[in-house]
Amino acid sequence: MRFRKIISCVVLCGFTVLCVQPPAFGGGASVDEDIMKEFREMKELLKKQNDRIEELEKRLMTQDSTIAEQKKSTEKRLNELSGEDISARLKRELGEMHGLPGGLDIGAGLTMVGQGAANANNPDATDGKKARFDGSYSADLEIGKDFDDFGRAFIHLEAGQGDTVESELSVFSNVNRDAGDSNAHLDITEAWYEHYLFDKQITITGGKIDATCYLDTNAFANDETAQFLGHIFRNSAVIDWPDDNGFGARMYLAPEFAKFVDVEMLYMNERGDWENLFDNPFIGGQFNFMPAKAFGYDEEMWEGNYRVLFWYNGAAHSKVKDPDVLKRGNAGFGFSMDQKITDVYGVFGRFGWANPTVNDLAYDWSFGGQMTGKYWNREDDVVAVAIGQVIPGKEYRDINEFHKAETHIEAYYSFQVNKYLTLSPDMQIIWDPNGGGINGIDKDAETVFVYGIRGQVSF
């Protein structure tokens, strides 16, 4: 703007000087008229150029303002989500979204996993070859839009292929939670709208939803694309989840008078097929206590969540001791906690129980911790380890010779190569897989060792 004005002044001054110079030859009046005519034409041309420049500058300012508003909206949404008890993966994916003109937020990710097993233990799938190394990938595209301060819409598209070594293992809880083989077909994983009431003290979500985003959540063990790969460390192994993401509604309560608690309530169609939406319900609830907010601690150093949850699956289930007899309904409860210990360390734990009359597995527990790479100048890196067990129920133990608790250990190192790429070597060990027996054969000595690497690209 300032440069344009300077140029205009210089040009106008130059023509003014020409106008006041005395004529050097006869016919001066005619020359003066020609100069004045050219001066007027040039002045008109400069005016048109100035108008055009001003128009372009206004457009640029509008675009800058739009980008700034989108950035502000995204930052505001992240600040709002920081206090909500949603899954670590959803929170991270929303954080990686980028604002686009038109008010859309968009983010994408690609996860590739390679896993090997030196002693795969499923004879029906290994063809006698115990040494395996297989791969899988999943691709995610998330699109969201905020509607001022009263609502948000979200769509999650996903495709994947391969299951690494999962099909070659016979275990209670498998090793690659990211595996979701859709034969490379693009599926709509989530599609929902949520509405805010009473200054966001109440959030109501409805549409195609994922129960694991709202129930049994955890800050350090709830994201298979960036944290633990093993199923047991992603969610409790005994929760009888719906068959698939499907029709559902969720209510989230965050009372202003008690900012240190929040409550999740969830209803879903258990079958996930959008048929008879209220005949086979999956119902869940979760109460969360946040001590850092309750006692005024620094949340950057001491943020923590302590959750109590329950669930009910209304579908018909076969009884463990008498499979020909169907019993409607299955229920259970659990605990999930995560706790920061300074800005470097964090610990988590889970416990789950399910009705042993209709569940082979009645209990599970897990415990683990992580630390960032701050002490070796790699603050975005994470090293983590966890241990857990899946335990058969009494009815299952009564009718099966092999009924030991299956024990898991997993460790990974998350190395951030750059802003967009993270590589994570991963190791898992499983003792007494499948309770110590595979197809009726004693396999006490067959401890399973799984090694692998995960690559995560987010943009």
Per-residue pLDDT of the chain (459 residues; tens, 9 = 90+): 544 544 454 444 444 444 444 444 445 556 677 777 777 778 788 777 777 888 887 777 777 666 666 666 666 655 555 555 566 666 666 666 666 656 788 999 999 999 999 888 887 776 667 788 999 999 999 999 999 889 999 999 999 999 999 999 999 999 999 998 778 888 999 999 999 999 999 999 999 999 999 999 999 999 999 999 999 999 999 999 998 899 999 999 999 999 999 999 999 998 888 888 888 899 999 999 999 999 999 999 999 999 999 999 999 999 998 888 888 899 999 999 999 999 999 999 999 999 999 999 999 999 999 999 999 999 999 999 999 999 999 999 888 877 889 999 999 999 999 999 999 999 999 999 988 876 555 555 578 999 999 999 998
Handedness of CA 231, 235, 236, 240 (dihedral sign): negative
- pLDDT tens by residue, 106-164: 999 999 999 999 888 887 776 667 788 999 999 999 999 999 889 999 999 999 999 99
pLDDT given at position 135: 96
Task: Please name the residues in contact with 369: beta carbons below 8 A apart, sequence gap of 6 or more.
Answer: 220, 345, 346, 347, 348, 384, 385, 386
Token readout for 312 is 């009910």
Q: How far apart are CA 436 and CA 398, in angstroms?
A: 15
Closest of 226, 246, 242 to residue 234, by C-alpha: 226
pLDDT given at position 340: 97
What DSSP state is assigned to residue 345? Answer: E
Segment (H or E) for 95: helix 88-95
The maximal CA–CA distance of the chain, rounded, in angstroms, is: 125
Token readout for 161 is 């292929």
pLDDT given at position 10: 45
Q: Are 231 and 175 in contact (CB under 8 A)?
A: yes
How far does Cα 98 stand from its chain's mean position?
A: 14
- CA separation, residue 66 to residues 70, 130, 237 (Å): 6, 58, 46
Q: Reduced to 3 states, what is the DSSP secondary structure of residue 111?
A: strand
Establish how many alpha carbons lie within 13 A of residue 355's alpha carbon, considering only the half-sphere containing its beta carbon: 18
- pLDDT tens by residue, 171-185: 999 999 999 877 888
Task: Please name the residues in contact with 59: beta carbons below 8 A apart, sequence gap of 6 or more.
Answer: none
Task: Please name the residues in contact with 54: beta carbons below 8 A apart, sequence gap of 6 or more.
Answer: none
Closest of 169, 75, 36, 37 to residue 452, by C-alpha: 169
Q: How far apart are CA 210 and CA 268, in angstroms?
A: 9
pLDDT given at position 294: 96
